[in-house]
Structure 1
Amino acid sequence: MGKQVVQVKLLPTPEQAAALAATLRAVNEAANWTSATAFAHGVPREYALRQHTYAQLKAERGLGAQVAQLVIKKACHAYAAIASLVKAGRLQGKRAAKATSKPVIFRADAAQAFDDRCLSWDHGARTVSIWTVAGRMRGIRFIGHPDQLKVLEQHRRGESDLVCRKGSWFLLATVDITDAEANADPVDFIGVDMGIVNIATTSDGDNHCGAGLRRYRKRMAKVRAELQAKATKSAKKKLKARSRREAQAVKDTNHRIAKQLVTVAERTGRGIGIEDLAGIRDRVRLPAAQRGELNSWSFYQLQKFIAYKAKRAGVPVVVIDARNTSRACPRCGHISKANRPNQASFACRRCGLAGPADQVAAINIRDRARTTWAFVNTPNVADTPQPAAGTSDKLRTFGPG
C-alpha cells in the first residue's frame, strides 16, 4: 500500500466559514492549554496526558469527546516530533535547548485533524459534514480535480486535516492506494539525467526544460534579497509567503515531470534508470552563481516522486552510480573531462561521437541501468563440476556462495 495526501477545496457559505474559523481557534486554544499541561506535569505521552486534560477539555473547553481526544493526540505528536528531531541530531545546541525549554505553541489557525466520527463525506453530493463549536455543520461543498476526487472516494483512510490558507478552506485527506504488480521483465530502460538548465533529459531525447522555472526563481531570489535587506517584520512575513509559493511551484513542476516519465515507461513496458545524487552538493564544485541554483534545486524530491509514481504503476526503477555519466562515451567507453567542451555539448576525444551532453549522460544511465538489472536479476549458477566422492567436507563446501 502507498500513502498519499489528496487535497480538496471547501466552498463554505459565510455562516459555515465563520463556524470553521471559530472551531480552529477553539481547538488550537485547547491544544495550547493541553501542551502547557503536558509540559508542566512532564507527561508528553497520550494516555498519561489524557488523565490530566480529557475531562477539562469536554467540560470547560466545550469540545466533543472525539475532538478532545484528537487535541490531546495533536499535542503529544508535537512533543514526539521535537524529541525525534533532537535524537536525530537535526536540533542541536541552542536551538534544541530553546525547543525543549518551553511548551509547544500552536497558531490560532493551525491545521486540525478530524476522523470519521467528527467528519463524514458525501461523494455523490460533493459535500462534507463536520463537527464545529456551533454544532454539526452539514452540506459544506467541496471541489477538486476529477482524478483526485475518484482516488479520494475509493481509497480514503483515516483522518483528514482542516486547513485555512489566506481565507480559503481545504481538507487534506490520506488515501492508501494498492501498488500495481511490478514488471519483472522490462523490455528496456529509460535513462533520466537531471540537471539545472534541463531539469530532466531522457535517453529517448525528450527534454524537460527548466528555463521558465529558472527565470521565476531568479526573480524570486532578487525579491528575496530586497526583502532581507529591509529586515522589517512585514518583510519577514512576505519572505515566508514567497518561500511557500516558490516551493509549491517547484513541487508542481517535479510532479508533472515525474508523471510524464512514468507514463512513458509504463506505456512502453520499460523501467527507469536514475542517478544516485546523494551528496551531490558536497561533491560538485561550481562558481558561486551556480552554487545557489544547485543548492536550491530539489533533485531528491523529483527522484522521490518518480520512485513512488513508478511503484504505483508497477514500473521498476534502478538507481545507478552517477560518477562520470556526463564524461563517458557510450560508444567507446572513453572517460575524460575534455569530452565536455562546454556545459551543453559532448564530443568524445577518441571516437568522435558528439551530441547534447545531457542526452549522452542519459544514454549512459540507461546502459548502466540495463547492466545493473541484468546482474541483480540473473541467478548465479555455479559452473564448477560437482566434487568427486570422498572429497573432504571442507572442500565440498568451498566455492561460490
Structure 2
Amino acid sequence: MNRLPSGNRNPRAIRVYPHQIPLPSRMSFDEEFSLVAEDGNELQDFPMEGVQMEIHKCKVTHERLVTDQRDLSKARDEQLHLAEEYNKRCVRLRKVMEEEEQDRAMVEEGGKARLVASQEEERRLREQLLGLEAQLCLLDQETILLQQRAQESNAVPEKRVVFLGAMSEGRDSSRFNMKSRILYPMEGGTALITFEEEDVARNIMKMKQHDIKIGDCCLSLEARPVHILMPSLVEMTSQVCCKSVLVSDVPKEAGGNHPLDRMEIHFSKRRNQGGEVDQAQMLQETGNVVLTFVEDTVAKRLTDRQYHEVDMGDGKKHQVKVTPYLNGEITNLQTRVSVSARTVLLTGIPAIMDPGDLQDQLEIHFQKNSNGGGEVDAIAYNALTQRALAVFEDYCPAEKE
C-alpha cells in the first residue's frame, strides 16, 4: 500500500481523482488505491479506512452545512417577516402619530381660539365695568343734585286752592296734567265750526260738499277735518338759578304803585338783604315776580330768610315769599298728528257780504238737522283777504257742565 511521504502529511494537499480510482463491483477494505497529488504525481498508497473517514467527515460537514444553510434560510425568512411586520407597524405608528399630531394641532387651535375669545370677553367686560362705573358716578352726581333739589322743597311758590264741589274717582290722581293751548293758522276764506256732538261733526265731514243758499247766491263749501300737531312726550330738565329768585304772594297795586317797581326797589337795598337788580319781570299768569341780581350771593341770602316784609307805599307792610327760581329746558319733545273730534274746517268761502253776517248765515245753516247739522258750540270765520290764528284748548266736559 502506498503511503504518503513523511514530509507531506496534509490531506488538503492531496487530490483524489475518481478516474484514477478503479471502481470494482466489490471492494475489500484491504485493497489499495493510489492517490495523486496536486502536481500530478502519484502518491503512495493510502488505506481505505482513512478515505472513508475523510468521506464521512465530509458528509458530516456537508450535512452540517446544509443544516446551517436551512437554519440560515429559515432565520432569514423569519427576519424578513419580522422586518415586514416591523415596517407595517412603523406605518401604523406613523399614521397614528400623524393623526395624534392633527388632533393635537386642532386642540391647540381650539385652545388658542378659546383664549382669544376669553381675552376679548375679558376686554369687553372690563370696558362694560368702566362704563358702569362711569354711569354709577353720574348717578351719584344726579343723586346729590336731586337731594339738593329735594332740600329746596320751598322752591315752588304756594298756591291757594279751594274746593268747588267737583268729585273724582282718583284714577288719574298720579298724572301731571298740563293745559293745552295750540295756535292753528287759518287761511283766508275759511271757517272753523265746533259742534256740541262729535257725531254731528263726523256727519258733516262725511257729506264733504255742502251747498248753502244765501239770498240769491248759492255757496258750495267743502268740509275737512282739522289736523293738529299735538305733543305726545315732553321731557324737561330744571335747575336752580343762582342769580334769580321768585317772589310770590305779591299784592296787587296799592297806593298807586306798581308791585313790580316796589319789589325791585325793596330788594335792591342792602339793609333788606338785597343787592343790585339786573332785571325784574312779572309773570302775568300768576302775578309772581322774578328778580335777577348782579351778584351770585344775593339770591341765596334772600331765599334763606324766605319771608320778607315789603312796603307797598300804602302805609302797610305786606309779607311776600322769596323762593329759588327754577330754569327749565325741554330735552325731548315728541309730537303726533291729532284730529279734532268736534271741529270742522270749511273752505272755499267767498266774500259776498259782511264777515259777521256771513258767519251768522253759516251758523244758521249748520244748526239745522235737515242739513245734517246740530247744535253749534263755536264758530269763527276768517275773511278772504285776512289771516288769523285759531286757539285750540283742552276740552273738559266736567268744566263745561
TM-score by length of 1: 0.17
Greater RCO between the two (CA within 8 Å, min separation 6)? 2
Greater Rg over alpha carbons, structure: 2
